[in-house]
Structure 1
Amino acid sequence: MRIISINTNGIRAAERKGFFPWLAKQDADVVCIQETKAQPEQLIADAFRPNGYHCYYHSAEKKGYSGVAIYSKHHPDNVIVGMGFDDIDSEGRYLEIQIGKLSVISLYLPSGSSKEERQTFKYSVMDRFMPILQEKAKSERDFIICGDWNIAHKEIDLKNWKANQKNSGFLPEERAWLDQLFTQELWADGFRSINQEPDQYTWWSNRGQAWAKNVGWRIDYQVISEHLQDKVLSASIYKDERFSDHAPLIMDYDYSLK
């Protein structure tokens, strides 16, 4: 089973950069997209309904902002739109499909880098999401939570970690939240379960020569529940083409979708 996650930083922009022809060659079972930045009426073109996929979008109320999507080769038994909080769901940040025993979620956690109020909102989302994650971990279902979590977990996960310890995305409180998730709550960082190499990043600032010099952050994850932790076969970050300021995270699992 192949699952791809990417923050497109505008799905229409990614489409113009060749994202969909590339995607057609990947044979992914499920594709999770964040930051679609599009309203439903802007997504009716065939390009945004790729052949062979059931396509689901959850747009933000604000135009040109946020939004998530999931494409699935398998018809879901159930589709859950939103986390259940109006202030979060109005920004289009959570979409879940259920296929048999498996749930795949496209998640876009807020960035707190623009101003203090957004960091406060980010903490609020994290505080409300943790009990949901704890509840899911206790269930009989398998979960893969794909998306832009907007937090680099450890020093290995961003190039300039020393200079970013007081910046959103690498704050002690944010990292401690991921520590709790990965050590106390039985969730795992799927990528790191098989790849411990340095310089593995999924996002690069558009400033300076960040992309050319690989001065990046690993903030896009596939977070997996306990029963999937020995099912990860491969994990790679695709960098041969650029569709966004984020790169696609491609993961293969020893898992049968029925």
Structure 2
Amino acid sequence: MHLDVLDLRNFYYRTQLGRVAQRAIRDQMQKLWPEAQGQTVAGFGFSVPLLRPYLAEARRVIALMPGPQGVMPWPAGMENVSALCEETHWPLATGMVDKLVMLHGLETSEHPTEVLEEAWRVLGPGGKALFIVPSRSGLWARRDGTPFGFGRPYSLAQLETQLKRHNFTPERSLAALFAPPSGQRFWLKTAEFWESGGRRFAPWLAGGVLMVEASKQVYAPTRGGLREAVRRPLRVLEGLPQPLPAPSARQCRDVAGEDC
């Protein structure tokens, strides 16, 4: 089940551990997506801690928050871009999104199939989606004191298999949150050291979250198309009289006494 939006807001914006988590995940996301100039960027779940870098350059930023979670206005001090929605029916036109970020939206949903179907629907041609979920082998999924301790954790193979089943093509993957999920001063001050070391030496074993970038997979139509249409005769010619065969030279001599 989804966490309450107030609990998520308090963790990311009012605790030091939440700010450490926000910075670690956002840094990894910006390695994958350094810019979004003129694009439509959408987030689902509680993605607002990651969307701020795109506010200045993106054509449009939209933060969708599912009904069971609740919604909060965002960003503070600016025009609101967040909206409450049904998790299985997003108020976005088909194919309008260039980049989609999903944080605390998949692992806590009771309808993951429908959520992935909506994610696939709203992505446009060439669009990319970034799915961020708790890692089954990480420490963060084993502690209830953070939002990553709720819902279903994934292994990398499990997440990629589920994405492929819903017509996504996984392209790149990263991990984040290598520091222990502790609010003690020592761990908070050394968080950057653990992040850089974990990314280098044990990205899939020690990371608290998995991040998979995937593209929308579209199959070629199964109809015969132009080739089959050309093989069939044009209907506009049906009903016209067939041309008469040209007379032979002998017939011409019999009728007119001379060659045609």
TM-score tier, shorter chain, comes to: 0.3 to 0.5
Name the one with the larger strand percent.
1
Larger fraction in helix: 2
Structure with the bigger RCO (C-alpha within 8 Å, sep 6+) is 1
- TM-score normalised by the chain length of structure 2: 0.38
Structure showing greater Rg: 2
Tell me the TM-score normalised to structure 1 length. 0.39
